[in-house]
Chains A and B, each alone.
Chain A
Amino acid sequence: MISTPEPRNSGIASFRIKLLVAMMLVVSFVAVAILLFAQRNMADSVRRDFQREFQNELAALHSVQAIRHAALAERCRELARKPRIHAALEDGALDLLYPSARDELLDVMDTDDGAFREPGAYTLRAHYYRFLDGKGRAIPPLDAKEVGELRPEEEAQLDLGKLPDTPQTGYILRDAGRDTETIDEVIAMPIISSDSGETIAAIVLGFKPPTLGGGSPDAWIEGGVWLGGHLDLPSLTESARADLAAQLSRAIPAPGVDQGGFEFRAGGAPYLASFERLNPASLFPAAYEVSIYPLAASAARERRLIWEFVAAGAVLLAGAFLASHFLSRRLSEPVEKLAVDSEENREHWHRAEAALETTSQELQRSARFSADASHQLKTPVTVLRAGLEGLLAGEQLGAEARDEVSALVHQTFRLASVIEDLLLLSRMDAGRLQIQFTRLDLSPLLEALLDDLGALPDIFDLEVDADIPPHLWITGEKRYAALILQNLLENARKYNHTGGRVRVSAAAQGDWAVVVIGNTGPAIPQSSQGHIFERFHRGAVGENVPGHGIGLNLARELARLHGGDIRLSRSDEAWTEFELRFRAEGAGATLPL
């Protein structure tokens, strides 16, 4: 069957598409893997950068606060050393304590006089102060207005239960009115008597805590203070503040937790919150600084990064697609060529197969014809011979006619012989001749044939020499081996001259049994030597020799079927010689079928 070009093209196109798809899949997988890896790395890097930025910013704000706190503590320490305050406490003049402190604290207290002050200066000013007595309780002032008013519950938060040995930072909850609360920072500084070296009192000053970011519009960290479930973080809405306070209450369950962080959402926006103990190891209740950082910008940055990666991925994939397309075309070219070649080969093969089929059919037809013809011919020849022999047996023929009929009978034998040979040849041609290989001794066979040769009417008065070993074993079928030898011996007898000679020698040569049959007689011309084994070829020398030109052909075909061969080994004026080879018995070579 010969393929049409369309399926072939569609097959190549299909191959090309499959190749393209496979390459695209591989490239896409690799590209996606690389992009995912890079994106993850970038996201991690962005997150690390953000955390570092956040920590740096926080650390900077903390250092500012630490400086402020140190300044406040120093102011408090200075106050605690004031001679008047010491004099009031040490010389038993408590009635002069607050009046003396008022003078000393003139530049510390925020007097709300309406004068403009820098924001930093504002946070360094105290809003109220109290002295703590020997039991750590607030000493009530004579005039609360002069020392900053506090509600009783606010003043109660200043009580420490005992006097501190070191400065203490604390935070107290204050009512800012209208149901809002603020958290103030207080610093308690022990007053150590210069008389006794013991802590005799403490001064507590209350400040507004600085807000992280300071309320500046470009500040990105907002801060506040968390104290006992209350959160003072004015930048958040009330509900968000309540949510955050609740989360902080869960995150700060134990006194040992000094810092931490978590993410939360307020008003639909994500935030990062971190908390850190403001007053570790303080006698005042634990308070925490709460810093919140809006993650919206960071999330936007991450989203933008993802989109950038998606865009880069799309560009990469498009490039990969183009490259794959180009590459698949290049790669499919040899395959296409191979397909075309293969198609042509297949066509050739189909043609050759068809031709072989035709030849085979013709051969079979020819062989069948030969066989049929031989069979068809054998019967009339037999009938003819029987008729002729019948005539010979009769009395009505004259002597002349009898000779004629007798010659005719002889011709029928020749005809039958030819038909027999043709039948054998046709069987060989059709491949239906099977040699039944057996162990065969060639020597008695040769001797018997030579005996038969001697029995024939000898017109040339030939001398027959034979050099035959007692046994010469071959593998073959006796009937056909005899036919081969008979044909050769027949030729040697026929193509001879009067007083001529026939010589037969046989010997084993390695794997072969070689029979050489030579005879005197006219030489075979050089030009004919190549054709003597062809069918129906008869040399010019044999024009007067009876024969039909298939004997040598038949002999060689049969010899080859036995795995041997026949060749003309010599032909000159003096001597013509044929060499026949059979496989010796036990030879290793495989036999032809």
Chain B
Amino acid sequence: MTPLCFCRVSALAAALALQGAPALAEAVVEGRVALPKPLHTPVMNKRYGIVAYGGVLSPYPPVAVVYLEGPFALPPSPATAQLAQKDLNFSPAILAIQVNTRVEFPNLDDTYHNIFSYSPAKRFDLGRYRSDERPIPSELFDVSGMVTVRCDIHEHMRAIILVLNTPYFVMSDLAGVYRLGGLPAGRFLLKAWVDSKTTLERPVELRDASTLHADFP
């Protein structure tokens, strides 16, 4: 759970820093996302990863990314996130970022990796590099959407970067429970990304200093 918490905390911190919102007026939304039952799919690395089944990419074990969609302003300067390659896998396998975030791809293995993506939201190719490559190869994600990240050398390696047009997002735990705090008051669309083909959504009305309970579905 450490990467999840780290991710959530860092993303939240970045979002809050960008927003510069007043601390007392924060709203909180929390709830539970009904996650699909984990598929018993053979994967090389039993740790957290991305699996594909029937043309659908989903995190394994299943988690959801819950985010609040609305007319939020982009941060003035790119934030930074990291998607490492460790033990011939991406870590984390799913990364949610706000648009205009630069993601670094540090190689923590003793072998070459070649990170690339042909996804419409972002096409890039970092080329081959080793762990001592400096600066750490990175890419700026300036268009929202889902980006499938692959390694050209290790065909099984797959990661998903969700590039979101919002600073408010969080990953659920393995039970689907999430808590998204520090939100502005107002009417928004709350979305839960479950897999590459499934994004649940529901409208929410947030009030200052109140906690809304919203479950999916």
Measuring CB to CB, which residues of chain A are less than 8 angstroms from any residue of chain B?
81-84, 86-88, 90-93, 96, 100, 193-198
Closest to B158 in A: A194
Q: Which residues of B contact A194 (CB under 8 A)?
A: 52, 155
B123 at the interface (CB under 8 A from A): yes
Q: Which of A81, A87, A196 neighbours the largest number of chain B CB atoms within 10 Å of its CB?
A: A87
Given A82-B155, A92-B120, are A87 and B54 neighbors across the interface (CB < 8 Å)?
A: no
Is B55 in contact with A93, judged by CB distance below 8 angstroms?
Answer: no
19 CB contacts below 8 A, A to B, read: A81-B155, A83-B151, A83-B155, A86-B155, A87-B116, A87-B148, A88-B118, A91-B119, A91-B120, A92-B118, A92-B120, A96-B118, A193-B52, A193-B55, A195-B55, A195-B57, A197-B53, A197-B54, A198-B55
Interface string of B94-128 (1 = CB under 8 A from A): 00000000000000000000001111100100000
B56 at the interface (CB under 8 A from A): yes
Q: Which of A82, A84, A91 neighbours the largest number of chain B CB atoms within 10 Å of its CB?
A: A91
Measured between alpha carbons, how far is A90 from B146 in the docked complex, in Å? Answer: 13
Q: Which of the residues B55, B119, B152, B154 comes within 8 Å of A84, measured between beta carbons? A: B152
Q: Which of the residues A93, A195, A198 comes within 8 Å of B118, measured between beta carbons? A: A93
Is A83 in contact with B52, judged by CB distance below 8 angstroms?
Answer: no
Is A91 in contact with B148, judged by CB distance below 8 angstroms?
Answer: yes
Q: What is the number of residues of chain B that contact chain A, defined by CB distance less than 8 Å?
A: 18
Closest to A200 in B: B55
Is B150 in contact with A196, judged by CB distance below 8 angstroms?
Answer: no
CB distance from A28 to the nearest CB of B (A): 82
Is A87 in contact with B150, judged by CB distance below 8 angstroms?
Answer: yes
Measured between alpha carbons, how far is A40 from B86 in the docked complex, in Å? Answer: 77
- 5 cross-chain pairs, A with B, having the tightest CB-CB distances, nearest first: A196-B55, A93-B118, A87-B118, A195-B52, A91-B118
Closest to B156 in A: A194
Measured between alpha carbons, how far is A51 from B131 in the docked complex, in Å? Answer: 63
Measured between alpha carbons, how far is A197 from B152 in the docked complex, in Å? Answer: 19
Q: Which of the residues B52, B123, B155 comes within 8 Å of A93, measured between beta carbons? A: B123
Q: 5 additional contacts, CB 8 Å, given A83-B150, A84-B118, A195-B57?
A: A81-B155, A82-B155, A83-B152, A83-B154, A90-B148
Interface string of B150-173 (1 = CB under 8 A from A): 111011000000000000000000
Q: Which residues of A contact B56 (CB under 8 A)?
A: 195
Q: Which of B55, B57, B154 neighbours the largest number of chain A CB atoms within 10 Å of its CB?
A: B55
Measured between alpha carbons, how far is A194 from B154 in the docked complex, in Å? Answer: 13
Measured between alpha carbons, how far is A551 from B155 in the docked complex, in Å? Answer: 156
Q: Which residues of A contact B52 (CB under 8 A)?
A: 193-196
Measured between alpha carbons, how far is A545 from B22 in the docked complex, in Å? Answer: 212
Closest to B123 in A: A93
Closest to B157 in A: A83
Measured between alpha carbons, how far is A91 from B151 in the docked complex, in Å? Answer: 14
CB distance from A189 to the nearest CB of B (A): 15
CB distance from B55 to the nearest CB of A (A): 4
Which residues of chain B from 24 to 62 have any CB-CB distance to chain A below 8 Å in the complex?
52-57
Closest to B147 in A: A91
Measured between alpha carbons, how far is A81 from B56 in the docked complex, in Å? Answer: 18
Measured between alpha carbons, how far is A194 from B158 in the docked complex, in Å? Answer: 11
CB distance from A139 to the nearest CB of B (A): 16
CB distance from A94 to the nearest CB of B (A): 10
Measured between alpha carbons, how far is A393 from B152 in the docked complex, in Å? Answer: 187
Q: Which residues of A contact B57 (CB under 8 A)?
A: 195
Q: Which residues of B contact A88 (CB under 8 A)?
A: 118
Q: Which residues of A contact B151 (CB under 8 A)?
A: 83
CB distance from B185 to the nearest CB of A (A): 39
CB distance from A226 to the nearest CB of B (A): 39
Measured between alpha carbons, how far is A81 from B154 in the docked complex, in Å? Answer: 10
Q: Which residues of B contact A100 (CB under 8 A)?
A: 118
Measured between alpha carbons, how far is A197 from B123 in the docked complex, in Å? Answer: 24
Q: Which residues of B contact A96 (CB under 8 A)?
A: 118, 123
